[in-house]
Amino acid sequence: MKKIIVSLICLASLANTSSAETRVNDSSSTVSRADEVYRALVKEGKVPASVLHNAKCIAVFPSVVTIALGVGGLHGDGVAFCKTKGDNWGSPVFLDLNGASLGVQAGAKSADMVFYLLGEKSREGIEKGSFTFTGELSAVAGKFEEHYTAPTTGVIGYGRTGGVFAGAMVEGVSLSHDDDEQKAFYGTYDANNLFEGKIPQQVAGAVTELKKMLPS
């Protein structure tokens, strides 16, 4: 009987270890894919300077997918970077995206999404752990026009389907902290440190290149 109990304990331990490793791999993959998506958008060089200048947070969601055909439910995992009080970029915060519909391309079932969140209210929402695109913060279609003037509040969205970025609108979108991925990536962490730009040395290298691409 003791042998059986010991065996069960060992199996449970291995399962927990495997699960932890999976979460670490998932969080690292999210950062890596976000790097690729944002790099592609930057390479196009079409985001208006006013959008880049007014952004208080930038959120990147690789592969936002439609999860309820006919209903239009959406889900995506991603990361957001927010400006610190010193106007530098903080460390990545892992987020879940849930929404109603994806206005990128008719019939699109998935898209890579990048959101430029403008104004202090958007940053406060991300810091508090819950942010919804409603009312004055409704998502508006991103524009590639050279002289586009960004609003002082709101969300400018870009979506990529089939390798091409275009202005995108999403409806009823909410963003919330993904604590599981946060813990998997950072280990023991203080969320306040992330918004101050502090980051554990062991993961700093994984986000260095992505942070370099954020607007100065």
Domain range for 155 is 3-212
User: Cα separations (Å) of 127 from 81, 92, 94?
Assistant: 10, 11, 11
Q: Does position 68 have pLDDT exceeding 90, yes or no?
A: no
Task: Identify the pLDDT of residue 4.
Answer: 45
39 — pLDDT class (breaks 50, 70, 90):
very high
Question: CA-CA distances (angstroms) from residue 196 to 22, 78, 83, 126?
Answer: 28, 19, 8, 13
pLDDT above 60 for 176: yes
Closest to 52 measured CA to CA, from 117, 136, 123: 117
Task: Provide the domain count of the chain.
Answer: 1
Q: Which residues lie closer than 8 Å to 27 by C-beta, 6 or more apart?
A: 94, 181, 182, 184, 185
Please give the pLDDT value at position 132. Answer: 85
Three-state secondary-structure class, residue 1: coil
| CA contacts within 13 A on the Cβ side of 60 | 24
Contact 62, 164 (CB under 8 A): no
Closest CA to 169 of 96, 95, 97, 115: 115
What value does the mean pLDDT of the chain take? 80
